[in-house]
Amino acid sequence: MPLRKPAKASQFIEHYFLCQILYTLQARGVIEKLRTCHTSEMVARNTRLDPKLVKLLLDFVSQKSSIIERKANGGYYIKDQDNYSRVFWHNLEKYVGAYGPCLEALKDGSASMKKVHAAVDRSILAMSYARCEFPSNPMLADILFQNRIHNLLDIGCGTASLLVTLGVRDKNFLGWGLDLNKEMCRLARNRIHQAGLAKRIRIIHGDGRHASQFVPDPMVKRIAALSASSILNSFLGGKRNNRAISFLSSLKQRFPNRLLFVADYYGKLGSSSSRADHCPETMVHDLVQAISGQGIPPPSLRGWLQIYRGADCKLLHAVEGRNNGIDWFIHVVEL
């Protein structure tokens, strides 16, 4: 549903309300209930919401979208559960629940940009990642497996979906995950425990920019390669991407000559690329990068090469593709 010119204000408002209501229904546990048919009274009873209001919200969503259907008997349910799958709810939780507060903070004229950036709700962000069983770029697991990487340090491991995927696939796999978000670490440990991999995968809570503090010498020796999936983009922006360059330099210092597998994406917002129009998902993500202080990734391989060269690292190989409107890549970089 592109809102192209000339769109009425009511169309924008309708989209805004639809999105906010859906997220609210998700956060209050209503969506989970509607995996099977429930009346508004049943939903209200289970979620401690006002029954009349629940009915109005569900009617609004069912009349304005195809997500929720109202049956003749007055029950509601999520109609097309294949399309409105975990990824759909992960995105809603991530963009509305976790990054939405940055937009809210922007409304406060006295809030500094630092405060706006800090408004990200990190525990909602962690919950949104816990919904996804698979790594954000499943091809990264394939490439690591094909390259026979048995000992891996995953920086910014999130909820450990990459490490668990590899641990299940490869009986000889040993993994370490480092993440700055405490809640991500907790959810990662749960996932590892549930997969029965606690003896082979360890999660460390810490800042990847200071890996030397968290990765002792004996561990360094055992690590054959590193991965950084959707984390390098959080160090972009600023003067000549200096934060990303110093992050890579610190990794190079601690893990010289190791392979680093970088999974990330090419940015679009603000670039003159004609392909930008075809990537609405990228534009939203770029915007979120900007309002949360992470910076917008370079739009091409050339820009990323400058970052690698700035840290005296060498790009050995690049795999690229497009998925869900995002131009993604996996770069194999020698530290």
Ligand X SMILES: C[S@@+](CC[C@H](N)C(=O)[O-])C[C@H]1O[C@@H](n2cnc3c(N)ncnc32)[C@H](O)[C@@H]1O
Nearer to ligand X, 40 or 161 (CB): 161
* Residue 6 Cβ vs ligand X, minimum distance, rounded to whole Å: 36
Nearer to ligand X, 180 or 315 (CB): 180
Query: How many CB atoms are closer than 10 A to CB 294?
Result: 21
Nearer to ligand X, 234 or 282 (CB): 234
* Residue 147 Cβ vs ligand X, minimum distance, rounded to whole Å: 18
Q: Name the 3-class secondary structure at 299.
A: coil
175 contributes a contact to ligand X by CB under 6 A: no
* 155 vs 157: CA distance, rounded Å: 5
Q: Which of residues 98-137 bind ligand X (CB under 6 A)?
A: 129, 135-136
230 contributes a contact to ligand X by CB under 6 A: yes
Q: Which of 34, 130, 178, 226 binds ligand X (CB under 6 A)?
A: 178
234 contributes a contact to ligand X by CB under 6 A: yes
* 127 vs 155: CA distance, rounded Å: 19
Nearer to ligand X, 33 or 191 (CB): 191
Q: Which of 41, 80, 207, 277 binds ligand X (CB under 6 A)?
A: 207
184 contributes a contact to ligand X by CB under 6 A: yes
Helix ranges (H only) for the chain are 9-27, 30-33, 40-47, 51-64, 86-92, 100-106, 113-118, 122-130, 138-146, 161-169, 182-194, 211-214, 217-222, 242-254, 280-291, 301-310
How many residues interact with ligand X (rule CB under 6 A)?
Answer: 20
- Report DSSP letters for 127-193, one per residue: HHHHT--S-SSHHHHHHHHHTT--EEEEET-TTSHHHHHHHHH-TT-EEEEEES-HHHHHHHHHHHH
Q: Which of residues 131-150 bind ligand X (CB under 6 A)?
A: 135-136
Q: How far is CA 6 from CA 3, 12, 284, in A?
A: 8, 11, 21
* Residue 140 Cβ vs ligand X, minimum distance, rounded to whole Å: 8
Among the residue ranges 42-50, 191-199, 228-236, 322-330, the one whose residues contact ligand X (CB under 6 A): 228-236
- How far from chain centre, in Å, is Cα 33? 25
157 contributes a contact to ligand X by CB under 6 A: yes
Query: How many CB atoms are closer than 10 A to CB 221?
Result: 9
Beta bridge partners of 321: 328
Among the residue ranges 16-24, 45-53, 203-211, 298-306, the one whose residues contact ligand X (CB under 6 A): 203-211
179 contributes a contact to ligand X by CB under 6 A: yes
Nearer to ligand X, 92 or 184 (CB): 184
Nearer to ligand X, 184 or 330 (CB): 184
Class of residue 50 by CB neighbours under 10 A (exposed 0-12, middle 13-18, buried 19+): exposed
* Residue 94 Cβ vs ligand X, minimum distance, rounded to whole Å: 9
* Residue 162 Cβ vs ligand X, minimum distance, rounded to whole Å: 6
* 281 vs 327: CA distance, rounded Å: 10
Among the residue ranges 49-57, 109-117, 174-182, 268-276, the one whose residues contact ligand X (CB under 6 A): 174-182
Residue for token digits 């200071």?
210
Nearer to ligand X, 154 or 170 (CB): 154
Q: Dihedral of the CA atoms 314, 212, 153, 218 (nearest 10)?
A: 110
Q: Which residues bind ligand X (CB under 6 A)?
A: 129, 135-136, 155-158, 161, 178-181, 184, 207-209, 229-231, 234
